[in-house]
Amino acid sequence: MGGQFLGASDLLLHFDPTSDLPIYLQLYEQLRSSIVTQCRLGPGAKLPSTRAFADSLGVSRNTVLAAFEQLLAEGYLEGRAGSGTYVARTLPEAFLGARHQTASKAMARPPARVSERGRIVRALSPSTSLSRVVPQPTVPKPFRMHTPAFDNFPYETWRRLTQRAWDRVRPEMLGYGSPAGWRPLREAIAQYVRASRAVRCEAGQVIITAGAKQAMHFAAQMLTDPGESVFIENPSYSGVRVAFQLAGARLTPLPVDGEGMVIAAGAGVDARLAYVTPSHQYPVGVTMSLRRRLELLDWARRASAWVIEDDYDSEFRYRGRPVASLQGLDDQQRVIYIGTFSKVLMPSMRLAYMIVPPDLVDTFIAARAHHDWQSPIIEQVALTDFINEGHFGRHIRRMRAIYADRQRILVQYARQKLRGLLEVPAKDAGMHLLGWLPQGVDDLAISRDLMDAGVETLPLSQFAAPAGDRGGLLLGYAPFDERDTIAGIDKMALVLERQLALS
């Protein structure tokens, strides 16, 4: 077909007047299909003039021009001055896929070499034997952790705000913005934490991050040098252990009792930094007392050390007045405050924030710039409106009531069905509970057995260094209604009765 002339009637084109697709796009699609498949339009084929083409099809010349211009722009057609329009000799598809090369012969592959950091990550991540108890991207099963109640997410409101964000977007917003985040969002967050958490800050101290874990890695890298000691809670969030060990820090686990981290247990250790979850200790669930908070801040002042306050689910408190943030008590500007929208809204949003003392702002903004620069702008714009228009506050109030009820159901039914098998005490805050197993029972083995039965739990021993004498199971309740909770407890009872009878 190369170089031959084709009339419009030769191409067997047809249009659907009932289609939502404009006529010019229907013409474009059919011509492109004929070109790609080389059915009636091979490389080098000459097309009629746009006027003749339009006359033979019974459409306007502008319709044909629009279709031709799109095909020319994408490289399917090429124009030759004074000659006409032709099918391209080389189609765009030729530049979009690399040709597969076959190795001449199989070669033995040496063991993969990784860095010391790679070995740390691998050692501190769940092993193959534990992979079955790690939450997977599927429909949550009771009692998956770290998952909000998606069945109560305000989808329509979020869809509308996201669409409006696109409608308002300006070309300059699509380039590289500030590594600290979109300024209106930083202002909205500053106003929110001042009112709800008694945080003392200005918008310029707020830095948007891709999740709380990224904020922890920034803090670990920017505030500790290799070999320096860091206080962490014991038990504690495994992600923070990874962050500080990758930074080369030496971890000093301090025990947690009914008042929170026991700072006195670190006497004699020259620590550079302390990491705490004071509002709702993860994973035990206690709230740090005012006495311990003041003791921790006094230690930071005397040691010229930093404190990282991870306030990850402080919004969900069910009894008593909300406890003010540790940062709000700090008059020496030694506290770095971390908050996230993952637990309040959705983990896939990947938006969190850190509030840093003024003299650290430039350092942390530079860290963000050198890491991945910024978070997606549309989500930031939509979230700003979600906060400023009151949707965020209403959502939190609604979820607080729902989660309080779901915790009540879990505790009530666990007391009926799991007596002597798992002790599940209620807590004043959070999205999970810690259930205590009888003395000497292996919580990791129980977690595996429960997973096989369709129940997801996390063993307490995976968060402690070293593991304590008494095992426990972490039970997330936020995404599960009464029916799911009861079904999960029933399955747990069967597994625990069978396993404890064998032990």
Q: 3-state SS of 364-423?
A: HHHHHHHHCCCCCHHHHHHHHHHHHCCHHHHHHHHHHHHHHHHHHHHHHHHHHHCCCCCE
**306, 334 contact by CB (below 8 A):** yes
pLDDT on residue 368: 93
State residue 208 phi and psi, 5-degree precision.
-80, 135
pLDDT on residue 448: 95
Distance CA 187, CA 202 (A): 8
Distance CA 431, CA 445 (A): 24
Distance CA 46, CA 41 (A): 9
Residue with tokens 């990550």: 121
Domain 399-502 maps to which CATH number in 3.40.30.10, 3.90.1150.10, 3.40.50.150, 3.90.1170.50? 3.90.1150.10
Residue 409 CA: distances (Å) to CA of 138, 403, 404, 415: 24, 10, 9, 10
- Please report, for the chain, the start and end positions of each structural domain, with discontinuous segments joined by +: 8-95, 153-389, 399-502
33: helix, coil or strand?
A: helix
Distance CA 64, CA 48 (A): 11
Max CA distance (Å), the chain: 92
Q: Which tokens sit at 321?
A: 């007045």
CATH number for the segment(s) 153-389: 3.40.640.10
Element (H, E) at 273: strand 271-276
Q: Does domain 8-95 have CATH number 1.10.10.10?
A: yes
Task: Give which of 272, 273, 254 is closest to 264, Cα–Cα.
Answer: 254
Residue 471 CA: distances (Å) to CA of 259, 447, 461: 20, 11, 6
**400, 280 contact by CB (below 8 A):** no
C-alpha torsion 354→357→359→360, nearest 10: -30
HEC string of 301-355? Answer: HHHCCEEEEECCCCCCECCCCCCCCHHHHCCCCCEEEEEECCCCCCHHHCCEEEE
Query: ω into residue 235 within 30 of 0, thus cis?
Result: yes
Residuewise pLDDT in 10s, the chain (503 residues)? 444 445 556 677 888 888 888 899 999 998 888 888 877 788 888 888 889 888 888 899 999 999 999 999 888 999 887 888 999 988 887 766 666 555 555 556 677 777 777 777 676 655 433 444 444 557 889 999 989 999 999 999 999 999 999 998 888 888 889 999 999 999 999 999 999 999 999 999 999 999 999 999 999 999 999 999 999 999 998 888 989 999 999 999 999 999 999 999 999 999 999 999 999 999 999 999 999 999 999 999 999 999 999 998 888 888 877 778 999 999 999 999 999 999 899 998 999 999 999 999 999 999 999 999 899 999 999 999 999 999 999 999 999 999 999 999 999 999 999 999 999 999 999 999 999 999 989 999 999 999 999 999 999 999 987 766 789 999 999 999 999 999 999 999 999 999 888 76
pLDDT on residue 10: 65
pLDDT on residue 58: 87
Could you give the angle at the alpha carbon of 205 between the alpha carbons of 273 and 180, nearest 5°?
Answer: 100
What's at 445, amino acid-wise? A
pTM equals 0.81
Residues in the chain: 503
